[in-house]
Chain A
Amino acid sequence: MKTTFLDFEQPIAELEAKIEELTSMQSNSDPSGDGKGVDLSDEIARLRKKSATLIKETYAKLNAWQISQVARHPQRPYSLDYIREIFTDFNELHGDRYFADDPAIVGGMARLAGEPVMVIGHQKGRDTRERQYRNFGMPRPEGYRKALRLMRLAEKFQLPVFTFIDTPGAYPGIDAEARGQSEAIARNLYVMAELKTPIICTVIGEGGSGGALAIGVGDVVTMLQYATYSVISPEGCASILWKSADKAPLAAETLGITANRLTSLGLVDKVVAEPLGAAHRAPEVMFESLRASLAESLAEVRERSLDVLLNQRFSRLMSYGKFKETRAR
């Protein structure tokens, strides 16, 4: 598949176009394949190297706004990609048992390195039709209630839960409100705080606000290098506080939504490095490093007894927040 280039990747795009041009020139000039055509392979190799360097340089100094575009890249691997590549024997389970099945959240049982687990994730769509079907990864209450049901199931059968976060946010729609979007999110926060089985959360793309957090409370919170996690989208924040969506780059910077920034604030435990030029350029490399990270996290939480696990999870939740304390009055 051809790579889709982001705005800030235009120099890379031009270089890649040139490489492609030369490659096709080379094969056209030598249709018989007898080696009598023009030899451009040195030039192509030189440009390939240059392109790799350019990608490396560009990605070494991405700002928060650029990272948020990478996090939303249309070719970025989605939850089902990770689930299918990292886990085996995935059986998808559907529906909240009350109202409907929400395709914006997927989940089911699977195995990680042979061990049975529960996986749950937001799911975005690849093409226009699927995007619509998945509602752009924006769940309705039934999606969160399906996730809740699967978590309860995991608790009952002592399966560790892996969640994959990738959503612009919970769906802001009339039907979603009528069916209790707030309650659905709130209930998940409550249950995840006390669920008697390990929970390992990974932000793989966009961590959009309450809709992300609703499957994001756990024992280990991991972010991929170019994922973002924010209380509000940079565009939303800009239009409220700066009264102009054009200020989104500034808002992205100010909100501190990147993996590195959130790690330094103590809100994220681990950052998994992405391959050169982000996950979509070499998905199989990404799958492999995330697989290793998840296995390691599982081994870590497995060492804790259930009491210790729950106490640590609770203390961690209670430790969230920065304030000053004067002497009690």
Chain B
Amino acid sequence: MSWFQKIIPPKIQRRVQAAKKVVPEGLWSKCDSCEEVLYRAELEKNLNVCPKCGHHNRIGARQRLELFLDAGSAQEVGANVLPVDTLKFKDSRKYSERLTEATKEVEESDALLVMQGTLKGQAMVAAAFEFRFMGGSMGSVVGERFARGVSAAMEARAPFVCFAASGGARMQEGLMSLMQMAKTSAALTHLSAYRLPFISVLTDPTMGGVSASFAMLGDVIIAEPNALIGFAGPRVIEQTVREKLPEGFQRSEFLLEHGAVDMIVDRRELRTVIAQLCAQMTHKDAPAA
């Protein structure tokens, strides 16, 4: 508490705190990269891309999808699929507690959000990982919602887009979480049989079991600039090979250079690029600019 807060009377103090709640993270925000202090509303309008240095700050799943799909078109898929603690997993804390806490803090019920809507008029199903929900880790709910998203795309004869942001599989669900890699990858075989495009967008970070399953199976794989993307985490690799990792290792630009992704696209251009690609793959007229 600052000296100023200490001297204001308790009654006013309460009001100050209540007022704070309305803007929980403050009006101002600092860019993770250039540390420029930015007006939050403006940063959000810019899709959390720093107007000063172009750094792609992380963005919440709901905001991401609502801004990606045409305004007012988005309808959630699989929101009624909710997590359970099958293993009664407990480390320093119970998994069930972690779930409750994440749900409260992030205001999402698990780490994947799926929406059905349109993109520049084209029918589209899009999924996005919520990294703030337990590091975007993939458990049963993520796998099931992903599979339902793919089914929804097949029913609507729509392309499927997924924005990945995940540390990998959710350890608290044991082997069941590993099996979500197989489940999500298998779901894509059916989408493919319908000749519907799957566009995988890799955002910061896309690691472990998510990277080593559907995320690398896009018909087109797009990365956002400077995202960390890889199978093993940099620390694990460093410990294994006992040498310093090269500059830019496992970043989007490294992956592009090594042929692992098709393109790096600025977040502000994703709507245009994905709409064009999907229209091309499904033989539709070029979308309006």
Contact = CB atoms under 8 A, between A and B. Distances in A.
Interface of A: 170-174, 176-183, 185-187, 189-190, 192-194, 209-210, 213-214, 216-217, 229-232, 237, 240-243, 251, 254-257, 262, 265, 267, 314, 317-318, 320-329
A172 B186 CA distance: 25
Contacts of A240: 171
B84 interface: yes
Most buried by A among B84, B174, B260: B174
A159 to B, nearest CB: 21
B84 A181 contact: no
Nearest to A207: B175
Contact of B87 (A172, A254, A318): A254
Nearest to B260: A180
Nearest to B88: A254
A213 B217 contact: no
B277 interface: no
B272 interface: no
A114 B204 CA distance: 52
B208 interface: yes
Interface residues of B, number: 65
Contacts of B91: 241-242, 251, 254
Given A170-B232, A216-B182, A324-B82, 5 more contacts: A185-B213, A190-B189, A255-B171, A323-B84, A328-B79
A269 to B, nearest CB: 13
Given A183-B216, A186-B216, A323-B83, A231 B178 contact: yes
A325 B175 contact: no
Contacts of A325: 80-82
B117 interface: no
Contacts of A187: 216-217
A210 B231 contact: yes
B41 interface: no
Contacts of B139: 321
B116 interface: no
A317 B183 contact: yes
B45 interface: no
B144 interface: yes
B209 to A, nearest CB: 6
Given A194-B189, A323-B141, A185 B232 contact: no
A329 B211 contact: no
Contacts of A328: 79-80
Contact of A321 (B179, B232, B233, B260): B179
Interface in B72-106: 76, 79-84, 86-87, 89-92
B175 A267 contact: yes
Interface in B171-226: 171, 173-183, 185-190, 208-209, 211-217
Nearest to B141: A323
B252 interface: no
Given A186-B215, A326-B80, A314 B186 contact: yes
The 4 A-B residue pairs with the shortest CB-CB distance, nearest first, are A172-B232, A321-B140, A193-B186, A241-B91
B209 A193 contact: no
B174 A185 contact: no
Contacts of A177: 230-232, 237, 249-250
Interface in B229-282: 229-233, 236-237, 240-241, 243, 245-246, 249-250, 254, 258-260
A325 B214 CA distance: 24
A324 B175 contact: no
B185 A241 contact: no
B258 A189 contact: no
A189 B80 contact: no
Contacts of B209: 209-210, 231
A182 B79 contact: no
B232 A257 contact: no
B171 A232 contact: yes
Nearest to A310: B189
B159 interface: no
Given A231-B171, A256-B87, A320 B143 contact: yes
A179 B260 CA distance: 8
B231 A320 contact: no
B79 A329 contact: yes
Contact of A318 (B90, B147, B208): B147
Most buried by A among B76, B141, B176, B260: B176
A186 B84 CA distance: 26
Contacts of B89: 254
B126 interface: no
Most buried by A among B141, B215, B231: B231
A119 to B, nearest CB: 21
Contacts of B152: none
A262 B177 CA distance: 13
Nearest to B147: A318
A222 to B, nearest CB: 15
B169 interface: yes
A216 to B, nearest CB: 8
Contact of A174 (B87, B144, B185, B246): B246
